[in-house]
Amino acid sequence: MSTTTTEPPHGDDAPPVEDYEDRYDGPEPDDSRRPDEVSPASESGGAMAAFRSMPHNLDAEKALLGAILVNNRAQEQVAEFLRAEHFSVEQHAKVYQAASVLIDNGQIADPVTLKRFFENENSLSEIGGPAYLADLAASAVTVINAREYGRIVYDLFLKRELIKLGEDVVNGAYGGEVDETATDQIEQAEQALYDLATSGNYEGGFQDFKSSVVAAIHAAEAAHKRDGGLAGVATDFIDLDALLGGLHSSDLIILAGRPSMGKTALATNIAFNTAYNYARTKGEEGAVVGFFSLEMSAEQLASRILSEQSELSSDRIRKGLLENDEFTKLASAATTLHDIPLFIDDTPALTVSALRTRARRLKRRHNLGFIVIDYLQLVSGSANSRSDGRVQEVSEITRGLKTLAKELEVPVLALSQLSRTVEQRDPPRPQLADLRESGSIEQDADVVMFIYREEYYMERKKPSRRSDEDESKLVERIERWESVLEDIHQVAEVIVAKQRHGPIGNVPMHFNGAFTRFGNLSKDHPYRQRFQGD
């Protein structure tokens, strides 16, 4: 295919189509050769010899525009991804924009109708006059080739944008704001690159229902072949997996609760189980986990996991109170954990944009399969959303996390705080209305789960003597209290209050506060029996 840049014909009163080189205003190329290496020819025209024009292909642009003017169906082939600004020459951009307007309005776009259109706009001379419209029609390709020519035009636009982006990165590195670090600039560059890569992707759009059905059958087949019939990533908590079917790709899962309910503990347990299964089965089960710990440091989170797996008190580990044999047990557990694919980012106050950038990077390098965020209220929104109020900021964050889940096709588990209103009920079982600061959390989430530990509240209700009560009555009430406390000792309940893909329900679980560890509750536990009876 020829890529020479030809001057389009024009009328006597029409300006010629300007060369792209004439419109290029970027930096002059750097000639690093020594003076004695410069030839006489380069002395007189060295700048022109070393000049590199911005990528463009006038022939491809003319051929595509000609195809549209000859057969308007060609516009359907490229309208999804191609915009007027993607053309390298302003005249071509105006012709494409005008043709698109006419076609979208159900009218014919050809040299005759476009001539009338530009005459009404008093801009016919700006596009080269009627002679140039006729020349475009003469350059037409077939409708079959129109999409390929559109891709060429769009690809060259991306290359021009890459050059501009590179210049911005260089200029930003030389200058930049005083409080803007190199890491900030790298994240901005990565975000700009990703936005450029997805800003008109011609691979998207509708797919036929047959393809969707085949994909659904493959997912069902994978679930059928797996133990437990799970379609998503297994958490290793039997009752929770049975209700949810695992953690599904592209889902935003909210795990909420009041302080001290064990949100971080459960999220850490799920993250570890998922990463451990991936390492154990060499990628056949589980997933690579990215854990954004905005509240705890990576060291604190690792200490929790060590406590869970070694079954040693995290408090005693932190205070250095372990016996020699206990320390040996801790070291052994640490050796086992070395190779699990669990990556922790403990950067505080991450923005949604930075979080997405880092997640995409981990996906690219290590095939990220599951994201945990602890916790949602510590994520920062954009400057605009912050100025609009906290509710708007949280709404932007939840939308961003849902977009991230779909974009990377991984489940995203985000922890969330609950408002204090839950404490005013008796019993203080959380509800969807208790989600803090924004109804968008409930709206954007595919699954909403709450953690409720009755033991936590019951421990604080130990009976005290009333003024008109004798000793025997007090003892009787204390005994009843102890009996109830015994039945709910080390028991937690996960309340699945919303699930787009299945039923809601309550899941009883075992919870060991000393090791901050959740587990499966035995089938004959009194709490389970009472729960099933309800």
Q: What is the percent of the chain with per-residue pLDDT over 90, rounded to a whole number?
A: 7
Residues in the chain: 534
Q: Is the pLDDT of residue 462 over 80?
A: no
Q: Which fold has domain 232-452?
A: Rossmann fold (3.40.50)
Domains in the chain: boundaries = 20-27+53-198, 232-452
SS3 at position 295: coil
Residue-wise pLDDT tens digits, 7-50? 444 444 444 444 444 444 444 444 444 334 444 444 444 554 45
More confident residue, 334 or 12: 334
Lowest average pLDDT, out of 226-235, 257-266, 524-533, goes to 524-533
* pLDDT score recorded for residue 387: 60
Residue-wise pLDDT tens digits, 351-360? 887 888 888 8
In sequence order, which ranges of 409-451 are alpha helices (DSSP H)?
440-444
Max intra-chain CA distance, the chain: 114
In sequence order, which ranges of 377-516 are alpha helices (DSSP H)?
383-387, 390-408, 440-444, 454-458, 471-487
Local confidence band at 368 (pLDDT 50, 70, 90 cut-offs): very high
Residue-wise pLDDT tens digits, 81-108? 888 889 998 889 999 988 988 888 888 8
Place of tokens 């087949």: 221
Alpha carbon of 148 to those of 137, 161, 446: distances in Å? 18, 20, 39
Instruction: Provide the residue type at 238 as one letter.
Output: I
Local confidence band at 385 (pLDDT 50, 70, 90 cut-offs): low
Rounded Cα–Cα distance for residues 485 and 460 (Å): 11
Q: Is the pLDDT of residue 68 over 80?
A: yes
* pLDDT score recorded for residue 373: 93
* pLDDT score recorded for residue 203: 52
What's the average model confidence in pLDDT over 250-269? 89
Rounded Cα–Cα distance for residues 76 and 68 (Å): 9
Classify domain 20-27+53-198 by CATH number: 1.10.860.10
Task: Write 118-123 long-range contacts (CB < 8 A, 24+).
Answer: 118/94, 123/94
Residue-wise pLDDT tens digits, 153-204? 998 998 998 899 888 888 888 876 766 778 778 877 877 777 777 665 555 5
* pLDDT score recorded for residue 39: 41
More confident residue, 156 or 476: 156
What's the average model confidence in pLDDT over 114-122? 86
* pLDDT score recorded for residue 189: 81
* pLDDT score recorded for residue 49: 46
More confident residue, 156 or 76: 156
Torsion of CA 361, 308, 239, 398, to 10 degrees: -40
Q: What is the mean pLDDT of the chain?
A: 78
User: Which DSSP category does 229 fall into?
Assistant: G
* pLDDT score recorded for residue 290: 92
Torsion of CA 111, 114, 120, 121, to 10 degrees: -120
Lowest average pLDDT, out of 211-225, 282-296, 510-524, goes to 211-225
Contact 521, 528 (CB under 8 A): yes
Contact 375, 294 (CB under 8 A): yes
Residue-wise pLDDT tens digits, 436-459? 666 678 888 899 999 988 888 887
Q: Is the pLDDT of residue 221 over 90?
A: no
